[in-house]
Every structure is written in structure tokens, then in C-alpha cells.
Chain A
Amino acid sequence: METINLTIDGQQVTARKGATVLEAAQESGIYIPTLCHHPDLKPFGACRMCLVQVEKMRGFPASCTTPAGEGMVVDASGEQVQTLRRQVLELMLAEHPHACLTCWKRERCGPTDTCLRQVAVDDRCVTCPKNERCELQRVSDFLGIKEVRLKSYRRQRDIDRNPFFERDHDLCILCGRCVRACQDIRNVGAIDFIYRGHRAIIGTPFERPMEETNCEFCGTCVDFCPTGSLRERAFPFAGVAERQVRTICPYCGVGCGLVLEIKGDQVIRVHGDREKSVNDGQLCVKGKFGATEFVHHRDRLRRPLIKKDGTFVEASWDEALGLIAEKFKEYQKRPQEFAVISSAKCTNEENYVVQKFGRAVMGTNNIDHCARL
């Protein structure tokens, strides 16, 4: 791999050739605030949060679109840069709830605490589903926004809902990540910027409900949204996951990597695994929104059942397994009357054990599974 050397905030860094200044910084652990940028999307250069100052270059280029060059000297956090960023962010926050963002006490407030400044509920981060997972919060904290001196403006539109996720226009910063993800990654294009100027929002053509568009409900737009605007409808206030489990989607043969975000004994969200996976973080509706609700469904079988006089009666494992072992033993003598059907939904290990059981214990090759469907 060819590399280049440059200086960012006085630190010598090595980057791969072709990297942008932003990537060079991120890869060496230097934080540059971003909002419209997402590593899976092409650089957009719209939010102006990532602007930097480069020696021998005019103005303040956006680091996400500026290629890193050999010997470059970059100022990514100087006072001038920070001030400019603050001014841009202030403009954005004038159209976004910011009471909590500018409050010194936020970190100690919970959703049930009374606000000392008597801020309306829908103006507070602590009552937003994205609280503590929000990129806007992080950027705002990094820049140390203390007040927003501009006149506040709220779109005050109803929340758009579909069975899987919702869009709160008042929290949208029009970064366009959702639009670009839907268009460039999913190639669907269900949503776009509609209207102009102050009235601009993200929506569907003619503001039709999502169900009536070609939306596939893959949830990529939700995963990519930096704010609380797009959020899953299940467990909206579950907050930050306590633990994450990387596993494999139980549905189709693609075998997408899933990350289960868990709190207590509940999966609060699912997102696609970006590391060493076939799906590079992408999922379809089944993996994103359908892979966990059935796990703790009330219809789940919880105890063995034995049919007695035509109706099922709950039994202990001991009784059920004892009965099965006894019956199966009879067929060990007549293996041609016995058959085993395994499952394309079970693991390799289970299929192995089941066929071994059929062959080694029952003495029959009458073994198949429903793969042929």
C-alpha cells in the first residue's frame, strides 16, 4: 500500500494514498466533526462541520472532499476553524431543538426530571429517542455551543409513521444521508428533498405514505440518520445498548451479519454487521425489523408437550425424553420403518448430530431435510 505523510494539528500522520484529509485524520484517531458524512457514502461536503485550514491553501476547505497530500499541514481544531464551525452549527440549531444542547446540566438530567429552564418536552434531548447516541449532540458538545443567538424556527409537522420506523421532521438537519443511502446504496430512491428554502423537508413524492412508495423498509436510512429524526418504532426510548451480540440472520441464504443491540433481556435494535460480513452493514427488512420479535413471542413453545387422548398436555423433559427413547428403541429393531427429517433452519452442528443420530443410533439412511423447497 502506498502511503503519504502529512501533519494534522501538529501531529505527524501516515495515510494511504488517495485518502481524504478527513479519512487521514480518522485513521490516526484525530476527531474532526462531521454531520453529512458517512463512510459508506460518497463525500458530500454540505454540512461544513469538517472544514479545516490547510497551509498554502486558500479559504477553509471541507476535509471530507479534500485529498490528503504529501507534506500537507492541516489545522483541524484551531480557534478560527472552531469559530466558523460554531457559526454554521448555530444556523442549523436555530431550526432544531437545542435547549438541552446549550444547557450545562444536560448530562445529569433524566427524561423524568423537571427542566429547570422550563423547556418544552419536545425541545429536549433527554426526551429524544436518539439521546446519547446522537451525532449532532457529539458535534455540538465538541464545539462547545453555549447559546443559539438566532430566532428559533420549527417545522412543526406531524411525525410520519410506517410500521417500522418514523420521521420527526423537527429533528431533521437536512444532511441528506438518508436520501443518498436510499439512492446510492439501495438504489431505491423512495425519498428526496422536497420543497425549497425554509419549507424544505425530506419526504416522498407528493408526500405519499411510505407504504405507497417503492420503499423496501430496509432501514438503511434509519441506520444512517445522525439525529433522532429517523428512528425505529420498536423500543424508541431504550437508549444505548448494554451489550451487542454479533450473529447471523436466521432468514435467507445470504447469511447477513446482524448485530443485536440488547438491553436487559430485550433486543432493542438490530443493525447490519460492517465487519467481515457479506452485507457490509446492509440488511433487508427481515433482518433489520423482523429477526427478533419472534424470539420472545408469547406463542413460543416453553415446555415439552405430550398428546394424551388427542390433546396436548405439558410434560417434564424427563417424561417426554423417556417416552421418546422408549418408543425409538422399538424402531431400532425395525429401522426401515423410521425416518428423520432435519432442518435447513438448524445449524450445521445440529444437522450433523441429527443425521448421526439417524444413521448411528437408529440404523437408517432415511434422512432428509426440507432444503428442496
Chain B
Amino acid sequence: MAGLATAFGSGAMTNSIKEFAKSKCLLVIGSNTTENHPIIGLQVKKAARSGAKLIVANPRQIDLCSMADIWLQQRPGTDVALLAGMMKVIVEEGLLDEAFIAERCEDVDVLKESLASLDLDKIAEITAVPLAKIVEAARLYATNSPAAILYTMGITQHTHGTDNVLAVANLAMLTGNLGKESAGVNPLRGQNNVQGACDMGALPNVYTAYQRVDDATVKAKFEAAWGVTLKDKPGLTLAEMFGAAHNGEIKALYLVGENPVLSDPDARHVEEAIKKLDFFVVQDIFLTETAKLADVVLPAATYAEKDGTFTNTERRVQLLRRAFEPVGSAKADWEITCEIARRMGSGGFDFRSSAEIMDEIAKLTPSYGGISHERLDKEGGLQWPCPTAEHPGTPIMHKEKFTRGKGKFTPIKYKPPMEETDEEYPLILTTGRIRFHYHTGTMTRRVKGLDKIRPEELLDINPVDAARLGIRDGDMVKIASRRGALAVKAQVTARCAPGVVFMTFHFAEAAANILTNSALDPVSKIPEYKVCAVKVEKVVPASVMESGEAVSVR
């Protein structure tokens, strides 16, 4: 979360899930909360029912729209413009929290300058949101305190995801909605332990707790602790790795528990890259589409067969407790990795339990310093920063001051999404998740009930577009982008705005990611999932096509 770290010094959710029920205003942007984070959705609904103002900004008509005071249906990829418009209104109408800005933040002038040149009518045009609604939303957000902003993939999964996040941060700082209860900037994390994977340094440029690999003191600390010499040059990011594998620079890959062949945008590119590797090892619980390409596959244990910790989206470290012995001869991932290291003659991998690993983490990681399995077992979850064994954890961040000292405003310029529609590809495809499945479906597709309720991919298309293309509900259609094409069943619904179509990426048979864009955000390198230009046409006769059957491009 490069954006938030720039603004505040920390990239995680600033507040906690249960605080939302007591917010006076909630701005839910790019998050289909009830669908993707149902239990957080409950808190949002609770707040709305007890009178909080609810602003939903989403190109699709999500469930929360029915409870919202305002629904802003911005065009996909125009979040920054929308947020900038709201900020301009707040500044012009003098709704900002001057005291907070003066005391806690810096560079507000830079932001104000960048807003001065904005034309609100132009913003209304770009976003396709009527100006009156932008103004109303800005007023609601600025005058009902505490106000919290919730966002997810919708906002980070853009080429300009980092800009989006910075815009959100600006908005919250302008109105003094940080460092207090029921407010804040709250990125809702998708997968169960994304937060933890980042915290633990499963990133190319940092060790645990975002300690930079190019910082000499940090390097010296880890060298002393691990007894090795370490590199100070940041490594390759995920997308760069596949690029490097493609042109032969990366030759061996060790992959633990992921399924990039399905989940990565531009899935075909990834598959080709993997096929070029000389040696490819996968650890997973199933023989996934990715694992099938491996030279060696190692059977891993599921969450129910191991202990350890996950860190949830609100920075809460929580304990998993082993319920069963692993099936067959499967082992926990940490055991496998340690064993490989030991066989290679390396020291420092003699852990007898995951609790011992946590003890080492605590020693090297300031924000996890006070965390141990023993404490978690007794006290329940602990929210980092939790520096010492006596520290109760931190539900609300940036209370007295920001992690980086002052909150930093950044000027924002709206840039259009990388891939624009044109005559040949006139529709915008956005992708997302639905409640009944998870990620690439490796686990949920094997749960009979879940698969029965939602057994196949559906392409949501607006009735207007459908009528123009002669598509009826349930028709098999061909959807094509500049990268690939596939067949899928159409679902005609007004939930999608005209010009926009939607599908998920849970289904191997119709892997939406064949279509999506691999253009990357220049800073955080999150693939642009949300916006991709496509064309849709009816397949005749429908009966000869199976869902997901690959269709040749053009």
C-alpha cells in the first residue's frame, strides 16, 4: 500500500472493524462490502440503520446502494477525479478542519494549488456523476464527524491505484478524520493474510514490518540475527518476476500456496513464463492449474491442520489452532521450507513449532515485539503496533501524531485509465468477487453447496447494451479484449451501468484474467484488474458452446 505509507507512514487500516457501527458518516468507495467482507458489511449496515450518512461510490449497483443516502455511480477508473471534486468542494466551501491540518499535517498548499485549477463541470463529465451529487457527498462527508472511508480492490486495482489511495488520504486529512475513533482511512484487505504476508516481509524491498532492505542499519541487524550477508538491492516484484522468467532471466521459482495462472491478470503471459522456467517448485493443498506446471509439487497442510497466526485487515494478529493431523504425508508450509533449508546445510531453520518462529519475529519486528502465541491464546487477537509484552495493542493509529510525523498531502492529477475504449472494444470490463466464492475458487469450488448456488461464471451486462447487441438473459456470449477471448453466459442486469460489464475471477473454466490488462501502477505495481476494454457478441448457435471454452481472438 504505497499510497498510504507516503501519506501517513503506514499502509494499513487506520481504525478497527467494530468502530464503523458508531461512525456518523461512511464513504464506501470501490468496495462491495456486503459481498466481499460480509462481516464488515454488517457494521456498515448497523451504522446506516442508526442514522449514519452512507455514501456509496461504485460503478455497479451494489447491495449497499439501497441503504445509501447518496450513490455516486462513477465511470470505472475515475475515482481520483471524483475524490478530487469532493475535495475541491470542501476547500471552496470552507468545510475543512483547519486546526487539524495546521497542527498535524504538511503541504496542504500543494494540494490546494492542484485543486485550484480543477474544473468541477469537467469532473462531472469525466466521472459521469452529476455535480450536485458530488457537492452533496462532499458536504455530507465533511460535516458528519467522525467519518470513515472504506475501500478495497476497486480502488487499488487500477493503474493509478496509488493515486487513488493518496486521494483518499488527502480527503480524510482535509476533514480531520484521522487518529480518532470511528473515522480513518480503511483499506479492506482481500485475502485472509495479505496484511500478514506484507508485515512479514514477503515483499521485494522490505524485511518484516516494512524495514527496508536498502537501509544499512536494518541490513546490519538482520545480518547479525541470521548470521549471513544480505543484499541491499530490492528484488523483483511478482509481475516483474514473470516478465523476467519470460525473457529467461529468472530460471527457477519456488512458489508457496498460490495459483497465479488463474489469479494473475494476463494469465496466458504467466503460463508462458512458467513454462520457460528450468526448475519450478510448488507447495499447495491441491494440484492447482499452476501446480500442474511444476517440476516438483509438495503437499501442504490446510489452515485446519496447522497452527500459527493470521493478521486480519485491521492489523489484528490472531491465533490458528490445529484441529487435525495433515492428510496423507502433507506438512505445514513452514515445516517444508525449514526442511529444504536444513538439507541445504543452512542454519537458523531449526524451529520446533510456529510459536518459536513468532518469538524470532517478535525480536526482529518492532510492531510485533510484544506478540507471542502464549499471549494470543490468553488474550485473543492483538492489533499491531504492539511493541512490548505489556502493550495492549493499537486499535486506532496516528492518534497523537502520524507514524511518519506529519500527515503529508500530495497533489493529485487525474489520469485516464491505461486502456481506453474504442470503436472495436467499446465496453469496459470490471472484475471482482462474489460472496459465494473466494479468489480462484481452489477451496470454495470444492464445497458442494457453494458450487451449487453459484456454479458458473456470469457476465453482467446492462439491458441497454444487451438489447443493442441482441443478447438475452442466459445467452452464451463471446467476450474479447485485446489479449484474449472466452465464452460466458450473460446475465442481463441493471446493476451494471450502460457501457460497463462485470465478471468474477473465481472460475477456471472462464478465467476473466485472460482478458484483463497487465499494465501496472508505476508505484505499487498492482495489476489493473478493474478496467479493460472489451467487446461482447452473441454466440450462435448457443448450444454448441460450453462456458469458458476458449475462443480464438478475431
Contacts and interface: CB of A to CB of B under 8 A. Distances in A.
Interface in A233-257: 233, 245-257
Residue from the set B196, B285, B328 with the largest chain A CB neighbour count within 10 Å: B196
B381 A276 contact: yes
Nearest to A165: B449
Given A294-B302, A301-B286, A332-B344, A341 B308 contact: no
Interface string B109-129: 000000000000000000000
Interface in A251-292: 251-257, 260, 262, 265, 267, 275-279, 282-286, 289-290, 292
Nearest to B241: A339
A321 B233 CA distance: 29
A302 B299 contact: yes
Contact of A262 (B192, B286, B303, B323): B323
Given A304-B297, A347-B354, A368-B237, A337 B304 contact: no
B543 to A, nearest CB: 25
B284 interface: yes
B313 A253 contact: yes
Interface in A333-356: 334-356
Contact of B338 (A336, A343, A353, A364): A353
B329 interface: yes
Contacts of A335: 231
Contacts of A312: 287, 297
Interface in B433-465: 435-436, 438-439, 442-444, 446-450, 452-453
B329 A250 contact: no
B204 A368 contact: yes
Interface stretch (A22-30, A42-50, A97-105, A323-331): A323-331
Contact-residue bracket for chain B: 35 or more
Nearest to A361: B346
B344 A255 contact: no
A301 B344 contact: no
B308 A348 contact: yes
Contacts of B324: 265, 295
A257 B302 CA distance: 16
B300 interface: yes
A19 interface: no
A294 B330 CA distance: 14
A365 B299 contact: no
A322 B333 contact: no
Contact of B260 (A301, A352, A360, A370): A370
A339 B308 CA distance: 25
Contacts of B338: 353
Nearest to A187: B45
A208 interface: no
A303 interface: yes
12 contacts: A245-B321, A248-B312, A251-B438, A253-B190, A276-B379, A284-B38, A299-B287, A303-B328, A304-B329, A339-B245, A343-B193, A343-B257
B39 A254 contact: yes
Contact of A256 (B39, B153, B263, B297): B39
B487 to A, nearest CB: 24
Chief secondary structure at chain B's binding surface = mixed
A252 B192 contact: yes
B235 interface: yes
Contacts of A146: none
B401 interface: no
Interface stretch (B76-84, B85-93, B520-528): B520-528
Contact of A290 (B190, B222, B331, B443): B443
Contacts of A307: 294-296
Contact of A359 (B231, B236, B294): B231
Contact of A293 (B279, B294, B448): B448
Interface stretch (B22-30, B205-213, B493-501): B205-213
Contacts of B193: 253, 343-348, 351
B252 A342 contact: no
Nearest to A256: B39
A290 B449 contact: yes
B281 interface: yes
Contacts of A262: 323
B203 A369 contact: yes
B192 A357 contact: no
A372 interface: yes
B537 interface: no
Interface stretch (B170-178, B357-365, B404-412, B546-554): B357-365
A289 B447 contact: yes
Interface in B498-554: 524-527, 529
A339 B200 contact: no
Nearest to B190: A253
B448 A341 contact: no
Given A251-B438, A257-B318, A260-B323, A278 B207 contact: no
A185 B42 contact: yes
A337 to B, nearest CB: 4
B485 interface: no
A348 B42 contact: no
Interface in B305-341: 305-306, 308-314, 316-324, 327-334, 336-341
A217 B453 contact: yes
A289 B450 contact: yes
| Interchain residue pairs A-B with the least CB separation, the first 7 | A302-B328, A255-B312, A276-B380, A347-B308, A365-B235, A253-B189, A343-B257
A305 interface: yes
A351 B46 CA distance: 35
Contacts of A145: none
B228 interface: yes
Residue from the set A283, A338, A345 with the largest chain B CB neighbour count within 10 Å: A345
B340 A357 contact: yes
Interface string B248-262: 011111111110100
Nearest to A245: B323
B273 to A, nearest CB: 11
A158 B404 CA distance: 63
Contacts of B252: 327-328, 331, 337-339
B446 A294 contact: yes
A341 B236 CA distance: 11
A142 interface: no
